[in-house]
Structure 1
């Protein structure tokens, strides 16, 4: 019965996504253009990467409020390393590793110091943001080279030809690298949750921590792994975002954790723990991405957008609570 209820919520989220697309396309014909579709894909790739990590943490019964700040810190570390002469790929790898280390720190504070996830990750949110601003003097890091912008702005199968005026003309925009990266990460995360021992342990810890411990699950290690993956994916999202901008901005990622939580909850993850899946989170991420893009095209201010997203989150959590009461 519970499985039917979860499936119904996922279908409802999918119907909501389709309804938003139809509504925004009627409001503005340009919404369905290829260029705008690519813009939605690029925006959603960031939300999706953060949402996948958030889902892993929420399924354990926790929360990670630090992902936006960790995104900024990871990008800052990467930018400083490139500025110091390190090649782009190793610098990006170390940027992702920085995010994973922040996640490990979160996990250790939660499991060893017995501090609640809300407080522990709130502390990391302040620490990571403070470090990013301190390391850069709150100034952006630019002139990082064309290679740095390849991940965020490149595309597979892009076809470009030189026009008669001597300027390049895009024949086919191709599939953006961030979208391909999101697909690969989503498939790997779904495989991890459903087919690997760590995934089963994540569900077990979120469903009943004491029962999981008595069954031989190493609860502390499982939680640390979930937070490390969340931090690492926040770092990866930071690489994609900063690469798109071709500039490292230590102020990026503010409130990004709310989009990640919204994507996971809209997709069916329960804040009580033990419930959630990657496919639902992807639908939730696209709902947030389409909603933001459509409201932008309609000329709605970013302040009103925050109100709308907040109401959507409250509604999704309320539906989850009603389901849990049943």
Structure 2
């Protein structure tokens, strides 16, 4: 095990320990924390953070950053909603929404690799452009009346079991596994496989560790970065259609500040902001840390303003730990 892998394992164990500590604390402070309903709530809250976090992790591994995922999420969902409203089949409209996200990611990659702008500036510009497009296309108003079928992806579940109660009304025996959770798991497995088993994954780690050495070794650095940003945009598009499907409404103002949660999940899970170190499993743990922290604080009546302060402190702490381990 090399130094980077050892640091990653240590950080991941720290994230797991933090996750377990949060679960213990909130299970003591709230009787409803361990209920099936709350478990479903936490899982659904985690999906958005995790899907965006997975994409952001791939970008950070190359030594970049993606600040646009929250706005790209909104634009992708808005495009899907408008196309459904225009009479498109739902599957086609959602596919176009995902494609919109991927195009935004490709534009980010082009600006970073060809125009040589810093990733921070390039994705900051895309954040403003995508949000502005979403607001312009909708007139800053939600796109509603999309039909029940539009909400199946976000609100449906696998293995949902019902029975007829004594009053003749349906009774839920098992709520099932929500489709968004299944999508999150599938995407995490696919991206983790790409990073660990395919050549492009090894190139992503190599570019983040030492871009100049990777170029001298024959790695196509520009193509690798393009793939990373396209992946981030693609996952932001998926997150957008899933989230809008849950709401059964396309909201152009959705996803504000989500990029910070995504970056925080990656860093808490052991992804180094310097690039070259991190795993998808660690990001998943980080996403659950954030969602469980929010959920537990809500159940204990902590105000949203205090929650922001606490989560901000957690992010600063995680980045400081990353800074310490890189300095060592």
Q: 1:197 aligns with which of 196, 199, 205?
A: 199
Partner residue, 1:81: 83
Does residue 105 of structure 1 match 2:107? Answer: yes
Whole-Å separation in 2 of the counterparts to 1:162 and 1:144: 30
Whole-Å separation in 2 of the counterparts to 1:241 and 1:48: 12
Deviation at 1:90, TM superposition (A): 1.1
Partner residue, 1:16: 18
Gaps of 5+ in 2: none
3-state SS of 2:173 partner: strand
Partner residue, 1:207: 209
Partner residue, 1:178: 180
Deviation at 1:309, TM superposition (A): 1.4
3-state SS of 1:32 partner: coil
Partner residue, 1:270: 272
Whole-Å separation in 1 of the counterparts to 2:274 and 2:173: 49
Q: 1:94 aligns with which of 93, 96, 112?
A: 96
Whole-Å separation in 2 of the counterparts to 1:315 and 1:100: 32
Whole-Å separation in 1 of the counterparts to 2:91 and 2:289: 32
3-state SS of 1:161 partner: strand
Whole-Å separation in 1 of the counterparts to 2:240 and 2:321: 31
Deviation at 1:305, TM superposition (A): 1.5
Gaps of 5+ in 1: none
Q: CA RMSD in A?
A: 0.9
Partner residue, 1:306: 308
Partner residue, 1:127: 129
Whole-Å separation in 1 of the counterparts to 2:41 and 2:293: 13
Whole-Å separation in 1 of the counterparts to 2:299 and 2:312: 19
Partner residue, 1:243: 245
Whole-Å separation in 2 of the counterparts to 1:139 and 1:166: 40
Partner residue, 1:4: 6
Whole-Å separation in 1 of the counterparts to 2:273 and 2:124: 17
After TM superposition, the runs of 4+ consecutive aligned structure 1 residues lying more than 6 A away are none
Indicate if the aligned counterparts of 2:97 and 2:237 stay in contact, CA closer than 8 A.
Answer: yes
Indicate if the aligned counterparts of 2:8 and 2:271 stay in contact, CA closer than 8 A.
Answer: no
Partner residue, 2:141: 139
Deviation at 1:8, TM superposition (A): 1.7
3-state SS of 2:249 partner: coil
3-state SS of 2:202 partner: helix
TM-score, length-scaled by structure 2: 0.98
TM-score, length-scaled by structure 1: 0.98
